Amino acid sequence: MAENKWDAQRYAQNARFVSNLGMPVVELLAPVSGESILDLGCGDGALTAKLAALGVHVFGIDSSQSMITAAAQRGLPVALADMHDFHLNRIFDAVFTNAVLHWTQDIHATVASVQRHLHAGGRFVGEFGGFGNIAAIATAIRAAVELEGAPQPTFSWYYPTPSEFKAVLDAHGFDTISIELIPRPTPLPTGMSGWLRTFAQPFGDGLPAEVQERILDRAVTLLQPALQDKEGNWVADYVRLRFHAVQRPAISGA
């Protein structure tokens, strides 16, 4: 992930809903006071702070310096680290992750890193974009780019089906306790334009600013009938993949 992509202030303005909607995942994690939990992709620490308030010994990692600075300002123990290959020299009772795994460029490397940081029997619990996530939004961007005669962007988001992700977990020694796709139309406080500016920058990479603006405006127009209600409120067509996995005990003598 490009380091400068995540500005904590802009993210808080356009995407505070990401952490606000993360509480059901915290409930699935069922944190217990005194246990140690790694927040993988902690962002500005909004959910990490909620875990800490429950008496959990939290540690957060994120690949954005801006986010890590914002999380540290909350007084949280955090470190800059890449989800694909991190080495923290300690292990945890659980790894928690919200709205992060869809950014991975290599899910096997990411889950292998998680696995290395868990006690035997440790929990890996989280939520991220699943199969079908933002299908309408991505299609509208592609159509707007096509109408402009510009090269198609490569979106490399990882949106697996439950069976695909279960197979990844299994390959890294996790038993899946629960896994489900949850369609979750998500209100966008700063509208579709705010969302596209925060999250979908690759659509305009290398194009002149005025072409980017035209693509953005056209994508917004194309999406209006599907994702804006009559009062002008926007939702994003999010589909979440929520999972709870547990590290399998190593077979002795193996």
Cα distance between residue 167 and residue 243, in whole Å: 12
Report, in Å, the least distance between residue 102 CB and ligand BEZ.
6
Among positions 193-222, residues that touch ligand BEZ (CB under 6 A) are: 199
* Window contacting ligand BEZ (CB under 6 A); options: 44-52, 82-90, 126-134, 144-152: 126-134
Per-residue x/- track, 40-79, ligand BEZ (CB under 6 A): ----------------------------------------
Q: Does 102 bind ligand BEZ (CB under 6 A)?
A: yes
Within 13 Å of residue 201, how many CA atoms lie on the same side as its CB? 8
Q: Are 85 and 116 in contact (CB under 8 A)?
A: no
Q: Which residues contact 128 (CB under 8 A, 6 or more apart)?
A: 97, 98, 99, 100, 101, 102, 158, 240, 241
- How many residues contact ligand BEZ, by CB under 6 A? 8
Q: Does 243 bind ligand BEZ (CB under 6 A)?
A: no
Report, in Å, the least distance between residue 249 CB and ligand BEZ.
33
Q: Are 189 and 16 in contact (CB under 8 A)?
A: yes
Helix, strand, coil shares, percent, the chain, to 5: 45, 25, 35
Q: Does 126 bind ligand BEZ (CB under 6 A)?
A: no
**Site residues (vs ligand BEZ, CB under 6 A):** 99, 102, 129, 133-134, 157, 199, 238
